[in-house]
Each structure stands twice: as C-alpha cells, then as structure tokens.
Amino acid sequence: MITLNGKPESGFDGRLLTELLTVHSYRTELIAVEYNGEILPKSSYGDTVLKDGDSLEVVSFVGGG
C-alpha cells in the first residue's frame, strides 16, 4: 500500500509511477512529485517502481500570478 496526498492508495505496489499519474489524470507538464521526502526529477517518472510504504505528494500547479 502506498500513500498518495495523505490518503492510502491500494493496487499500485510494483507498478510504475507513470501509471499512477495516468490513472489520476495528472498532466505531467503541470506537476511536481514529492516521493519519500524529495522532489523526484521528471526524467525518473518512467522508471520509478512504487513499493509498499511509499509516500507521495503530487502538486499540480494552477495559473495566476
């Protein structure tokens, strides 16, 4: 079981981060991913395999400034 944005999320152990992002309809050009305490480089999204106990926060930026 992983934790996504503070909530438990089942069914993603052993699957790629990109799959999680797709299922939740995140647009990769608008996000930053905090993965176990660090911001994950974009180039690592495709080869990051999620595992039990992982904690993620996906920040999706919105326009305005």
Partner 1 sequence: MIPSKEEFERVLIERHTKPVHERLKNASIAIAGAGGLGSNIAMSLARAGVGRLFIVDFDKVEMSNLNRQQYFIRHLGMYKTEAITEILHEINPYISVDYKTVQVTEDNAAGLFSGFDIICEAFDRAESKAMLINTVLEKLPGTTIISGSGMAGYLSSNSIKTRKITDRLYICGDGVTDSADVNGLMAPRVAVCSNHQANMVIRLLLGYTDC
**Which residue, 11 or 41, is less far from partner 1 as judged by CB?**
41
Distant-in-sequence, close-in-space partners of 65: CB < 8 Å, separation ≥ 6: none
8 near partner 1, rule: CB under 8 A: no
Give 16's contacts (C-beta < 8 A, 6+ positions apart): 46, 47, 48, 49, 50
Q: Is 59 a residue that touches partner 1 (CB under 8 A)?
A: yes
Task: State yes or no: residue 4 binds partner 1 (CB under 8 A).
Answer: no
Residues that bind partner 1 (CB under 8 A): 29-32, 34, 37-39, 41-42, 57, 59-65
